[in-house]
Amino acid sequence: MKSFYMIVLTLCYSVNAFCQTEDSLSIATKTTPKITLETSFPIVSLALLNFQNTSDRIQSKDWIAENWNTKVFNPYKKQRKQYPLHITFDDSTYASPIPRNKVVTSRYGWRNRRAHNGIDIDLITGDRVMSMFDGVVRYVNRHSGHGKTIVVRHFNGLETVYAHLSKQLVKVNDTVRKGQVIGAGGTTGNARGSHLHLEIRFKGIPIHPEYLFDFSDEENIVRANSIWINEKWTTAYRHNSKRKSNVEVCTTEAEAAQSKADEKKIYTVRRGDTLSRISSKYNVSIATLCKENAIRKTATLRIGQKLIVTQ
């Protein structure tokens, strides 16, 4: 105990000395000698450094240990979703999951009245499929329409899902490196032609892959080191699998809050609704409704259909 007080006293004295020195430096002239700063400063900085290290350790989470289940595709199913999601990346690039130019044949979004929770990237059966980042293989199985599937959990909690594979070349709990071959592409499950169905999940929630990563060229860019994700980017019906969504990535919590405030409202069509009724209810022209939702004026609305009702 005594030594503890001694340390505290030393620290207080050092901080004090440091502050006074700072003050006197800013007020006094340049003729001030080098004084005792050299002895007191290292003690203070060392203390601060240790404190920072401790807080870093508390914040950094062992994502591999959390909800680790090699038997089920989504071990987070029962967890409550909380937005915005926040993901950090150490890498500024990802490894391309396929060894050729990435041709996206279908995007994340609404497709044939169902959610398409990933993107489809064209490939030839037998093409190598690579892990996008370092990580640990969590799931290797057949997963309904996905066919032969591999899920890799990465160290920031993100999971990448590789589906319709012809070969799975890793086992669960294997550690994989960024760019390491984990399987071969194919058509297993519900795939019309050979392609890679790639999903990006965080706590089980499928995120629009193009919100996080740029797939349009060979640079393989991770859009930011810190990305905040609103519900919009995890909701397939807010996107069209045939159209590229306009990505403006939020890199701070404040940006995410602002982006959410600016978000377009979605209306679910009920029995008896017409375009003109929705138009007057939300004070938005029929022409805008048609343009925003890519529908014709004569389109028949279905009950349950989602429409963007803001400009």
Asked if 143 interacts with Zn ion (CB under 5 A), we say no
Closer residue to Zn ion, CB minimum distance, 120 or 122:
120
CB of 114 to Zn ion, least distance (A): 11
| Partners of 160 in beta bridges | 152, 200
With contacts defined by CB under 5 A, name the span among 7-15, 34-42, 169-177, 197-205 that binds Zn ion: 197-205
Tokens at residue 13, please? Answer: 């004295």
CB of 235 to Zn ion, least distance (A): 17
Closer residue to Zn ion, CB minimum distance, 115 or 224:
115
Burial of residue 98 (number of CB atoms within 10 Å: 0-12, 13-18, 19+): buried
Gap between the Cα atoms of 263 and 309, Å rounded? 11
> CA dihedral in degrees (113, 114, 116, 117; nearest 10)?
140
CB of 147 to Zn ion, least distance (A): 11
**Which residue number is nearest to Zn ion in terms of Cβ?**
197
Where in 98-127 is the site for Zn ion (CB under 5 A)?
120
Closer residue to Zn ion, CB minimum distance, 40 or 117:
117
First-last CA distance in the chain = 66
With contacts defined by CB under 5 A, name the span among 97-105, 107-115, 191-199, 213-221 that binds Zn ion: 191-199
CB of 63 to Zn ion, least distance (A): 25
Closer residue to Zn ion, CB minimum distance, 197 or 232:
197
With contacts defined by CB under 5 A, name the span among 75-83, 192-200, 218-226, 271-279 that binds Zn ion: 192-200
Gap between the Cα atoms of 144 and 161, Å rounded? 14
CB of 7 to Zn ion, least distance (A): 59
Size of the site for Zn ion (CB under 5 A): 2
CB of 106 to Zn ion, least distance (A): 6
Gap between the Cα atoms of 229 and 200, Å rounded? 13
Closer residue to Zn ion, CB minimum distance, 179 or 189:
189
Asked if 197 interacts with Zn ion (CB under 5 A), we say yes
Closer residue to Zn ion, CB minimum distance, 107 or 308:
107
Contact flags string 64-103 toward Zn ion, x per CB under 5 A: ----------------------------------------
Closer residue to Zn ion, CB minimum distance, 197 or 238:
197
| Partners of 195 in beta bridges | 122, 186
Asked if 134 interacts with Zn ion (CB under 5 A), we say no
3-state secondary structure at position 10 = helix
CB of 137 to Zn ion, least distance (A): 21
CB-based contacts of 93, cutoff 8 Å, min separation 6: 219, 220, 221, 222
Burial of residue 290 (number of CB atoms within 10 Å: 0-12, 13-18, 19+): middle
Closer residue to Zn ion, CB minimum distance, 86 or 111:
111
At residue 301's C-alpha, the angle toward residues 298 and 305, to 5°, is 140
Query: How many angstroms from the chain centroid is the CA of residue 166?
Result: 27
3-state secondary structure at position 201 = strand
At residue 43's C-alpha, the angle toward residues 37 and 46, to 5°, is 125
Q: Which of 162, 207, 203 is nearest to 66 (CA)?
A: 203
CB of 308 to Zn ion, least distance (A): 23
Site residues for Zn ion per CB under 5 A:
120, 197
